[in-house]
């Protein structure tokens, strides 16, 4: 899955890219970027492909490229929304089989990039054993890496994540012999955050979604309470580096108040 580049684009485009990169030297770059890649199926349909798999494969290749852009500007954590719990339950079986194969290939490739750390976030029990094995191996292969941290949201749902976090807290509290009344009195948002799939990580500073859609679709519901959002009209596979750099520039210009 080869990463793309700016080769083949005109000199004005490359000049603008360099200008944007220069501008980013004076702005705050988000530590954690969450990406909702959308529009893969529409992209394939518009180009006349008879299978959505062409769009999903192009989208996966774009995500590899996107991660390189993030690494280049100093982003520390990236979360990619690749397969939701609703996708697992509702997608056509043939399309789902293609998606599973594509995600497995992407996870394996990302785990072989020097320095990058891969983590699966989601319900592993919803996934086919072969995909679960690839994700587990990718985590094991990269667990000692300290570079770009890549969360792969596969079989993921934000509401399910919160439910799992609360269940984990209850189970832990029960092991300690505490009562439900004590738990209810002591429960805090910080405690729930520690038991999420992303526990220990910074919450996303910036959430990007492609294809012009403006909704969360059950992605990082708890973690994105104070996130900034940026919506791109381009379909997933058509996302350009210039779109990404504009998103980072826009983020850097915002006054983040965190409710104050």
Residues catalogued as catalytic: 38, 87
Tell which residue, 69, 75, 46, 10, has the closest CA to residue 234: 46
Tell how far CA 254 is from the center of its chain.
22
| Spatial distance between the Cα atoms of 63 and 152, rounded to a whole number of angstroms | 11
DSSP assignment of 6-60 equals STTS-HHHHHHHHHHHHHGGGSPPPSEEEEE---HHHHHHHTT-S-THHHHHHHH
Contact (CB, 8 A) for 117 and 143: yes
Burial class (CB in 10 A: 0-12, 13-18, 19+), 56: buried
**Token pair of 205, please?**
């500073």
What are the helix (H) ranges across the chain?
11-23, 40-46, 53-73, 85-90, 93-110, 129-142, 158-175, 180-186, 189-194, 241-253
CA 43 from chain centre, in angstroms, equals: 20
């Amino acid at each position: 899955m080869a990463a793309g580049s700016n080769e083949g684009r005109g000199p004005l485009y490359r000049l603008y890219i360099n200008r944007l990169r220069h501008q980013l030297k004076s702005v705050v770059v988000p530590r954690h970027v969450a990406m909702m890649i959308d529009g893969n199926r529409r992209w394939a349909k518009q180009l006349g492909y008879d299978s959505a798999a062409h769009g999903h494969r192009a989208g996966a290749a774009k995500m590899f490229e996107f991660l390189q852009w993030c690494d280049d500007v100093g982003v520390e954590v990236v979360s990619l929304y690749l397969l939701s719990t609703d996708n697992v339950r509702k997608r056509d079986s043939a399309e789902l089989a293609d998606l599973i194969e594509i995600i497995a290939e992407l996870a394996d490739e990302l785990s072989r990039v020097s320095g990058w750390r891969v983590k699966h976030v989601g319900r592993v029990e919803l996934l086919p054993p072969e995909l679960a094995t690839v994700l587990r191996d990718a985590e094991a292969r990269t667990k000692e890496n300290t570079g770009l941290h890549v969360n792969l949201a596969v079989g993921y749902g934000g509401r399910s994540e919160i439910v799992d976090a609360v269940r984990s807290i209850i189970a832990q509290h029960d092991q300690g012999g505490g009562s439900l009344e004590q738990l209810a009195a002591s429960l805090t948002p910080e405690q729930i955050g520690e038991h999420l799939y992303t526990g220990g990580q910074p919450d996303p500073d910036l959430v990007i979604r492609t294809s012009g859609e403006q909704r969360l679709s059950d992605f990082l519901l708890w973690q994105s309470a104070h996130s900034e959002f940026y919506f791109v009209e381009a379909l997933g596979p058509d996302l350009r580096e210039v779109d990404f750099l504009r998103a980072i520039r826009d983020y850097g210009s915002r006054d983040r108040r965190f409710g104050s």
